[in-house]
Structure formats: structure tokens, C-alpha cells
Amino acid sequence: MRTPHRRPTPVLCVVVALLAGLAAPVGAAKRALFDNFHAEQAGNADWVIDNDQPTPLPAQGAIVLSTPRTTWTGAISSWGVDLVKRGFTVTTNNAAFTYGNAANPLDLANFDVLIVPEPNTLFSASECTAILAFVHDGGGLIAVGDHHVSDRNNDGFDSPMIWNALDPTRLLGVHWGTAGDANNNIVQTSTNVNPAASDSVTHGPEGVAPGLAFHNGTTFTLFPADNPSVRGEVWMTGVAQSSTASVMAASSRHGSGRVFFLGDSSPIDDGSANPGNSNIFDGWAEIADSVLILNATRWASRREPTLGVADHGAAMLSLAQPRPNPSHAAALFAFSLPAAGSARLEVLDVGGRRVWSRSQVSASGPHEWTWDGRDRAGRDAGAGLFLVRLVTAWGTRTTRLARVR
Ligand SMILES: [Ca+2]
Ligand SMILES: [Ca+2]
Ligand SMILES: [Ca+2]
């Protein structure tokens, strides 16, 4: 058994953390955070960029194009070194995730992309909230897992279970193959890659991704009804690309942020790990898995505030005052979506109980839905003050409605 060598977290100035929490200026280095707080070194795994944490050594400022990808110690040092060569700064996380906590120098607001390489412990409820809010606000997430029954620290949870628990309602549009799912432990090299030239994950700045080599990985089922932006990037050999199942790599958007899903950790293994760990293979170079992974990391990293509709979704989402207000009987709710997607409109009473709701996958642009003033049992909802709430992938909007006799 290896013992991870961890250095204490340096005490950084709170002011620096606050300033760093602002969006990076155009042209600034992208900031990647590699997680090592969820047992990423359990068992045979060594999913760290370096044992010097949070900042790897030798210093990344000394890395040049010819620097070997083994300059740091860890089975995913190549990912870190290759990102530094592309202008990123890289850091290792060794504390619980927070978002918006200026006292935490590793707060997610200080980063452009979060990389979680096969977590082996559950995210806490507050960590789940932090991750999803970070992505919603424009952060990137690279979610890597492994095959079904891959619980490396015997706590009862493997990475497919842990990722599904992050997002039980599939806000991100993806279900990880686990117990009861097909193809939850596959060994396969697939070149069944999304061919769209507009797809920056498969056709990105690193070039065209040739495919993926899985050595015991799981596959995804996609749920476009839950997140219309979800798309397959690599499918299993022979599977039609219209299929929402048997997907080896996928991507989606959530709010202004972007997520990449990879069903196996073997492709991120670079074949050189900490001393004592010999159960490693160079997946990074096998069938050039790194092309897909580096394209995806660059695509997911926080957007500059100059992009298109999908990146301004939150600003373009609106819910108008009900008409009439106050109302005696029916009320009209007008809202507008930044893009096609699922919308849920609900009316809550002052006690927070849901009186009425309507959900529908809806087109981009303005909509008008009418509430007849009756509850779900068909009874008149009565007089009083009600909260009207619009829930979408781009965020939530609320307004109030008064009903009078
Ligand atoms: Ca575990
Ligand atoms: Ca594997
Ligand atoms: Ca390595």
C-alpha cells in the first residue's frame, strides 16, 4: 500500500482568493483543478498529477515543450503537464469542494475547469451543490469513472454510483452504467467517434480524436429529455450514433458551463506512477486517447463572456409578472427560454406546498401558459398570495400572484 505524501495547504491571502474568484480576463491562463479529496489514490489507483499538493513540483513555470510528461509523480502527470504546455495552470484539490467561500484558496470559483478522476467516496450534499452551481455559472467539469464494481476503498461506493448520486435527476443528461445496466464493464477499442466537424470535443485544437481504448469501463445512457444539450462523443463499436445507450464518452451543457463524461479511467493512465505502483499502463498514448481528453478539457474550460446564446442562457431567461395580477380566476404566465429545453412552471402557496405545475420540453423564445386557478385535484385554489416559479436548466425565476375573491 502506498501512503500519499501530502503537504499542508499554504495560507493564501483572502484578498487574492477574492480577486481570483472573478472571471479570468481574456487571454489569462486557464486554471484547472484536479481533485484528490475523494480517494483518487485508493487501492491500485494513482489518479494524481503529482504528490506535491496542491501545487506540483518542479514548478510549472519551468515546463517547456520538451519537458517529459513524467516530470511529476502520479499516474495522470501527463494530463497535467500537457495542460501546462497549453497555457493552463494546474492545482491539486485536497479539501472538500466549496463554491463562493473566499476563505478556501481552492474554492471552485478560483478555477475554470474541475477534473475529477474516478472519485471513490461520495460527494457531500454541500459538495454536490457547489459542483453544480460552479458549472451552472460557467465552470467546466471533467467527470471520469470506471467500471461497475470498482469500489477501490471498499466503502460501498464505486465511481458510477458516486456520479449518479451527484445528479439523481439527470440535470446533466447522463446516467452512468451500474448495477442492472448493460455494458457496465467493457474492454473495447472503439473508433465510433462523433464525426461532426462542429464538435470541438472530437474535432478540437488537438486534432480529430481517433477513438477510445477502454480496459474495464462503463457506458452511459443519455437523457436528452432531461438535458437537450447532451450528446454522444464516442459510442461502442457497431452502435448507431442515434443511440442514447452504449456511449463511452459524452458531453453536455448546464447553464453556462460544460461537462465531459468519460466512462473509464484507463485512458487517463499514463503508465508512470508513484513508486510501488506497477499496475499501470500507458492509456494516454494508446490510440491517442489524449486527443479526445485534451480537446474536451479545453472545450469545457470556462467560457469568455463573449460567446453565443447558450453561454448567456441565464441572462436571457425571463418570467414576467402574471396577468392579471391580482386575479379572480385564471392567470397567464409569460416566460422566455434562451434555447429549447425542459421548462417547469409551478404555483406554490405561502406554506411552500405545490398547488399546480406544468412541465414540458419547449422551444426557444417566448411562451404563455395559463393556469385556471385550480389545484391538482380540480378545486379552486382560493384567495391568497402565491409564488410562481419557473425551473429550467438555465436557472430558476420566481414571481408572485395575488388571488382575490
Ligand atoms: Ca469507494
Ligand atoms: Ca478501467
Ligand atoms: Ca505519470
pLDDT 10s digit of each residue in the chain, 405 long? 343 444 433 333 333 333 333 333 445 789 999 999 999 999 989 999 999 999 999 999 999 999 999 999 999 999 999 999 999 999 999 999 999 899 999 999 999 999 999 999 999 999 999 999 999 889 999 999 999 999 999 999 999 999 999 999 899 999 999 999 999 999 999 999 999 999 999 999 999 999 999 999 999 999 999 999 999 999 999 999 999 999 999 999 998 899 999 999 999 999 999 887 777 899 999 988 999 999 999 999 986 433 333 445 677 789 999 999 999 999 999 999 887 777 889 999 888 888 999 988 888 889 999 999 999 899 999 999 999 989 887 778 888 999 998
Task: Write out the residues surrounding ion ligand 1, Cβ under 5 A.
Answer: 120, 151, 153, 155, 157
Ligand 3 centroid to 69 CA: how many Å? 7
367 CA distance to ligand 3 middle (Å):
53
Question: Can you tell me the distance from the alpha carbon of 131 to that of 297, in angstroms, rounded to the nearest whole number?
Answer: 16
Cα(291) to centroid(ligand 3), Å: 17
Residue among 241, 235, 243 nearest 292 (CA) = 235
As a whole number of angstroms, the distance between CA 151 and CA 157 comes to: 6
DSSP state letters, 43-75: TT----S-SS-SS-SS-GGG--TTS-TTSSSST
Distance CA 123, CA 161 (A): 11
Residues forming CATH 2.60.40.4070 domain(s) in the chain: 311-403
CATH of domain 14-300: 3.40.50.880
**Ligand closest to CA 212:** 2
C-alpha 158 to ligand 2 mean position (Å): 12
Give distance in angstroms: CA of 346 to centre of ligand 3.
51
Ligand 2 mean position to 191 CA, how many Å? 18
- pLDDT value, residue 279: 77
State the DSSP H helix or E strand holding residue 384, giving kind and residue range, or none if neither.
strand 384-392
In single-letter form, the type of residue at position 380 comes to D
Q: Give the distance (Å) from ligand 1 centre to CA of residue 122.
A: 8
CA–CA dist 218, 183 (Å, integer): 6
CATH 3.40.50.880, the chain: domain bounds:
14-300
Cα(186) to centroid(ligand 2), Å:
9
- Which of 2.120.10.80, 1.10.260.40, 2.60.40.4070, 3.50.50.60 is the CATH number of 311-403? 2.60.40.4070
Between the CA of 99 and the centroid of ligand 3 the distance, in Å, is 29
Instruction: Give the number of C-alpha atoms closer than 13 A to the C-alpha of residue 300, restricted to the C-beta side.
Output: 33
Q: What distance in angstroms lies between residue 150's CA and the mean position of ligand 3's atoms? A: 21
The number of the ligand nearest the C-alpha atom of 117 reads 2
Residue 69: other Cβ atoms inside 10 A? 21
Q: What's the burial of 242, exposed, middle or buried (CB within 10 Å: 0-12/13-18/19+)?
A: exposed
* Radius of gyration in angstroms for the set of CA atoms belonging to the chain, rounded to a whole number: 23
The Cβ-side half-sphere exposure at 243, using a 13 Å CA radius, reads: 18
With 0.75 as the threshold, say if the pTM is over it: no
Separation CA 254–CA 134 (nearest Å): 10
